[in-house]
Amino acid sequence: MTTHQYTARQLRSAANVTSATYDQWRARGFIKSEQKAEGSGNPQLYSFDEVFRAAVLARLVCMGVSVSVADMHLDHLYGFKDSRAYLLIRAYDEAGASIEHTGTVGKIIRGEENLLPNVTECEGVVVISLNKIEARVKRALNS
């Protein structure tokens, strides 16, 4: 089974990032291509998961999370497919103790879970809807 591959232009459009941002993130390793297309210049090709990851990264950065901190929380984005889910990033861990190294903890919350217990006693929190970003990316790639 062949999975569909998307170009850098499609990734930029779906993630809503500029060419300059794409180039910077790619150079710093935040966007990674597993394949190069055949032909002139061997352009980068991306899987849907890679495009989705870039869109989530862009949304977190838009909400004020630094790109390096946002990138740390994107390793486990793929377990929620076809269900409502949120990525929650907060300033404290489960016990409320400060985390010295990064200052943040990321967690995927399933739609049926209550978000409130996850945000109390935090200095700050960012919550994004993964399924809504996924739907937006799919629309952008199919247009």
- Top pLDDT among 23 and 102 is at 23
What is the tens place of the pLDDT at every residue in 86-137? 787 776 555 544 444 445 667 777 766 666 655 566 667 788 888 889 999 9
pLDDT at 98: 45
Residue 100, amino acid: E
- The average confidence (pLDDT) of the chain is 79
What is the tens place of the pLDDT at every residue in 68-92? 888 988 877 766 666 788 787 776 5
pTM for the model stands at 0.80
Question: Residues 6 or more apart from 37 whose CB is under 8 A from it?
Answer: 5, 7, 43, 44, 45
The single residue listed with the structure tokens 């779906």 is 14
- Top pLDDT among 33 and 101 is at 33
